[in-house]
Structure 1
Amino acid sequence: VYNPLLTYQSEHEETNVVDGRRSASSKTSQKDIAPSGPSTEETEEEKRNEKRRQHELELRAMLRDEFLIQLQKFLNQIGLTLRQLEGEVRLELPPQFDISKIVKINKDAVEQAETLVYKWNGEIREALERELKKIPQTSGPLGEIDWWRERNISLSSLYEQTKQEHVEQVLEKLELEENAAPLSFRDTRTDLSKYYLEAKDNVKFLSTLERHFKNVTHGATCRVVTETIPKMMSALRMVWIISRHYNRDERMVPLMERIANQLCERVVRSINVRTLFSYQPSEIIEKCTEAKDMLERWKQSYYDVRAEIEQSGRDSRWEFDNKRLFKLTDHMAIICNDFIAIAKELEQFYNIFTPELKSVTGKPHKINEILDRVHKVLELIEHAPCDPFRLEDLDKWKMVSANYGQQIEDIDEQTKSFISESFKSLRSAESAFDMLLKFEKNNTRMTIQDEMHKRFNDILRQYDNEITEINSIFQHNKTNPPVNKNQPPYSGAVAWSRSLFRRIKHTMLRLHTKEALMQTELGKQIKSYYLRVAREMKAYEDGKFNEWKQRTEQILPTLQKRNVLKELPTGDNENSLTPRYTIDFDPQLNEMMTEARYLEQFDYFLTENIRHLALSVILLNSLLFVIHNS
């Protein structure tokens, strides 16, 4: 009743998860193309909601799996109990059969008892043969425990049938009559006892492994299984030492092979190549790394315990067939490593084609075109005509992998060509330089990194163009520099020159963080050019200051001798409210005071009288305020 419903819910939830991831991936691509996107706060909130939703789905899946495990275990236990109570074979006496009549003189009773014993013997033989022909229902290690447990219950019920009182009485009566039937029956019971005790002993020892086998089969993640494997291997060693039946290769090797099969089955369930690359590269790497570590831990733990056994020198060595235990797990570990490499390549491409690269190159559509080609190459893996995890499909997978590698090499060449062309027409040397430094820190493809390193010369050439452009502006406007409104001419010219210098200085400081770049021949030439332009600008600024200083020192004494106030002539309509004085302040003096204040902010040294002139601006403004309001 519950299994189909729960299975449907599981598939439905997994489908929603995959669809959600595909939708998120689609939205991410659209964000790159769209002119504007959601705010950072909204993006962070969406991420938190998505993580919360994924966590809830994982918890629900774990609860569902745990419920299924317990339900199945309960059903199995009920079935085993019913079979034990009912039994497949019932050693019963026929109706109106009197055991006391089995005497030598009563040949009919003896023959009837003999026939009954042979019938019992045949039924036991048939039941035993049927039981011995049974095989485990699942390929995992829990299947072997359940198989032995069911055999133990079946043979226990059968053996108890042979020990019933009426059976013993019939056998004793026939033995007194020297009949051969009891001997045959007791031989059969001896065989039955041997198999029953074997099953009982195996159930006892394998039960110590059941907890580990459950983790291997139903563990929430591959990481849980990885942590379980060393403990499980130590427990297997104890069974190998103590058990009377699992101390032989023909018992232990199939059990270990079942464990290996279960590990492989887990990997196949968790890594579906058809949907794997719908996840983010980091998630793919994490998922495949966990699976690979689990498979490698299986082999490593085996050899660790084997070495411990050899060092002890007391127990039988583990000389098992490695192909049966590790051939498939090694193959699947290699395939997981291939998937990790593909995911890393995908991540490297994403790290290359960032918004910064789109901004620097100014060709977002070209970048999107290359990314689309990368996604199409992934379809070679998703729609591969083989199952990479099957050993039989290894040759086909190698062909698919080789084709994929060739396509990636072509994309590398296209990317290198795009970068080479784009860096020849850079928008900004500084932003391009910062982007290259970021690529050095990020996980990007080595071939692209090498190509990026070659682009440093393009950045230097772009910087050379920027210096030339700034120098051209400087040379063209230095005789009549553009000055901000309300700014005096000399300090305005200095401010204009310094603003031009800052535009090339900041980039030079960034370039100097990579000393090896500036030590190249081109780097030395650019640095020399930069210093020449910088010195010329500095000389221009100093010249402007000296020119102003010389002019000020010439006319300042004369201007300072003038009175600030001038008496007005007497008029006919003079009254008490008519002002008697007016301001007689030369505009040149005001300009000089403003120049002095700005130039001092530019760290120029002013003489004492000029500094006082700059400070007098405050006093003058106060005086003017008083006069205007008097």
Structure 2
Amino acid sequence: MRKEADDTGPLAELEHWRLLMARFNSILDQVKSKHCKMVISTLNAAKSKVLKVTNQMVTACKHFITNNGMDRIWDQPCAPLIGKLKASMQLYKEYQKSFQKTKKKIDEIPGERPFEFSEMYIFGKFEAFCKRCEKIIDVVNTIEMFSVLTTTRIEGIDPLANKFQVIYANIKKKPYDILDHRKIDFDMDYDEFKKSVYDLECMLQGFLDSCFSKISSSVQALTLLRRFERLNISHLNIEEKYAVILHHFGFELETIRKLYQKNKEDPPVPRDMPPVSGKISWARQLFRRIQQPMDVIKVEVNIMKSPEAKRIIRNYNRMASVLMEFELLYHRAWVKQVDVVKTGLQASLLVRHPETNVLLVNFDPMLLQVIREAECMHKLELEVPSAANVICLSQEKLRNNCDMLKVMGIDYKKSRSQV
């Protein structure tokens, strides 16, 4: 604001505006001068060249991504495509970095005109192209993640796989150039794609919840959960299901404990197995029923920190110790029994019946049981005493000698009856 003296009159005001007009005319004459026009022309040319470089970079990126227009986005493998998209975005960052570096150097030169280019004007197109690349990467990653639904063998998941195929087909069949950042149709289609994927995620979560609403076996539930885990689809509450299975496993532990207490004195022996190895097999079967779930659950570190998990671990360790002790006791008893049976080999081959005085073959049936037990103990990978191994190696000879003595007894009886 111009300050005026108290005695300023009209002539002074006229003089002020005359001086201003002279200044404006001088500026106008400089703008119209040849030198100034050359400077303005140079700046416009430089600005135009930078913009052309930017446009050329965007065009080159499109050719690079589509293999010179030979391959559509959807026809390329996921990993190489994403690599090319990210490389294009990295080019934009390096381009910006070089621009800022050059601008800084010019600003540091004394008397040099500043680098007064509009960055939005220069980089706006390239930045919009990079934002389009980001969305394409998101779409491609999402499609890659959910494509596993078409190959998994989880029973009942086919409707979800079909829904994914529809979502993929809808985004794939769009007629416009997806790399053209000026096509705003893609932005609307992208929003619709994200909404459809969210609905699919909700359906998949509902399917997962229904699969684990009723657990009949911790082992079966864990097997199914591992299949869901291998899908590698985000936003599924997999960890929560481990907690549900852990809770059910606690009930299974209690069931195994009661079953052991009920049958430990006279366990059910599997068919075609001798008594001792049959009892050991029964105990091992119970141990497998608690070991298999624990081997899977224990690697879930977050779940194992809960108070319920610590209680279940104590019960598991206690039950496992009881079952291993059961096996050890029966195995030791059988080893001692082998030594007793071995002494029977020193007895007479033939004995007379105490009442009828008839000669009988003195073959201890426990020898056959020791042989069968030893065979089963080997399969169970338990220690077999050397005496049992000797008996096993001699079993054919023992059987032949027994059969021969029986035949001799029959012949002896016939001979006596003919005398």
Instruction: Report the RMSD for the aligned CA atoms in angstroms.
Output: 4.4
Residue in 2 aligned with 1:587? 365
Choose from 155, 166, 176 the match for 1:362.
155
Output the amino acid matched with 1:256.
V
Deviations 1:101-131 (Å, cap 9, x if unpaired)?
A: xxxxxxxxxxxxxxxxxxxxxxxxxxxxxxx
Higher mean alpha-carbon deviation, 294-303 vs 413-422, is at 294-303
User: Within the alignment, does 1:458 sit opposite 2:241 as a pair?
Assistant: no
Aligned to 1:483: 270
Aligned residues of 2:374 and 2:388 also touching (Cα < 8 A): yes
Relative to 1, partners in 2 of residues 1:337 and 1:474: Cα closer, same or farther, differing over 3 Å? same
Counterpart Cα distance in 2 of 1:315 and 1:613: 104
**C-alpha spacing 1:619/1:291, structure 2 compared with 1 (3 Å):** closer
Which residue of the partner structure matches residue 562 of structure 1?
347
Measured after TM superposition, the shift of residue 551 of structure 1 is 6.5
1:433–1:511 CA contact under 8 A, matched in 2: no
Q: 1:502 to 1:423 in 2, by over 3 A?
A: same
The answer as to whether partners of 1:281 and 1:344 remain within 8 angstroms in 2 is: yes
TM-score, length-normalised on structure 2? 0.67
| Counterparts of residues 226-305 of structure 1 (less than 5 Å) | 248-269=42-63, 270=65, 275-305=72-102
Once residues 557 and 277 of structure 1 are traced to their aligned partners in structure 2, the CA distance between those partners, rounded to angstroms, is 77
Q: Secondary structure at the match of 1:481?
A: coil
CA displacement 1:136-174 (0-9 Å, x = unmatched): xxxxxxxxxxxxxxxxxxxxxxxxxxxxxxxxxxxxxxx
For the 8 Å contact 2:350–2:360, the answer to whether it is kept is yes
How do residues 32-43 of structure 1 correspond to structure 2 at under 5 angstroms?
none
Match of 1:511 among 283, 297, 315: 297
Please give the alpha-carbon distance, in whole angstroms, between the structure 2 residues aligned to 1:597 and 1:406.
64
Render the CA deviation track for 1:562-592: whole Å, top value 9, x for unaligned: 22x3399xxxxxxxxxxxx996321113323
Distance 2:251 2:159 in 1: 25
C-alpha deviation, 1:334, in angstroms: 0.9
Q: Distance in 1 between matches of 2:50 and 2:62?
A: 19
The 8 Å contact of residues 433 and 459 in structure 1, kept in 2 or not, is answered as no
Q: Select 1:496's aligned residue among 271, 282, 290.
A: 282
Please give the alpha-carbon distance, in whole angstroms, between the structure 2 residues aligned to 1:366 and 1:291.
Answer: 37
- The alpha carbon displacement at 1:252 in A equals 1.4
Structure-2 residue corresponding to 1:99: none
Contact 2:73 2:81 in 1 (8 A): yes
Equivalent residue for 1:333, pick from 126, 130, 133: 130
The alignment's TM-score, normalised by the length of structure 1, stands at 0.47
Instruction: Decide whether the 8 Å contact of 1:597 with 1:614 is kept in 2.
Output: no
Once the 2 structures are TM-superposed, how far is the Cα of residue 335 of structure 1 from its aligned partner?
A: 0.9
Task: Provide the rounded CA distance (Å) in 2 between the counterparts of 1:284 and 1:540.
Answer: 61
Superposed displacement of residue 494, structure 1: 0.7
Q: Is the 8 A contact 2:341 2:366 kept in 1?
A: no
State the alpha-carbon separation in 2 of the partners of residues 619 and 470 from structure 1: 39
Q: CA deviation at 1:363?
A: 2.3
Which AA in structure 2 matches 1:411?
L
CA distance in 1, matches of 2:295, 2:255: 18
Aligned ranges for residues 310-389 of structure 1 at < 5 Å? 310-311=107-108, 313=110, 316-350=113-147, 353=149, 358-359=152-153, 361-376=154-169, 378-379=171-172, 382-383=173-174, 389=180
- Distance in 2 between the 1:430 and 1:367 partners? 21
1:422 equivalent to 2:211? Answer yes
Aligned mates of 1:374, 1:473 — CA distance in 2? 51
Letter in 2 for 1:483: P
Moved more, 311-320 or 412-421: 311-320
- Opposite residue 566 of structure 1, the aligned amino acid is L
SS in 1 for 2:213: helix
Structure number with the bigger relative contact order (C-alpha 8 A, sep ≥ 6) is 2
Asked if residue 521 in structure 1 is aligned to residue 281 in structure 2, the reply is: no
Structure 2: tracts of 5 or more residues without a match: 1-37, 353-358, 406-419
| Cα offset, 1:401, TM superposition | 3.3
- CA deviation string 1:497-532 (max 9, x = no partner): 214423431331232223332222332344344345
Structure 1 residue 305: deviation in Å?
2.3
CA positional deviation for 1:253: 1.3
Measure the CA separation in 1 of the matches of 2:372 and 2:177: 83
Aligned pair count reads 353
Aligned: 1:614 with 2:400: no
Distance 1:341 1:594 in 2: 65
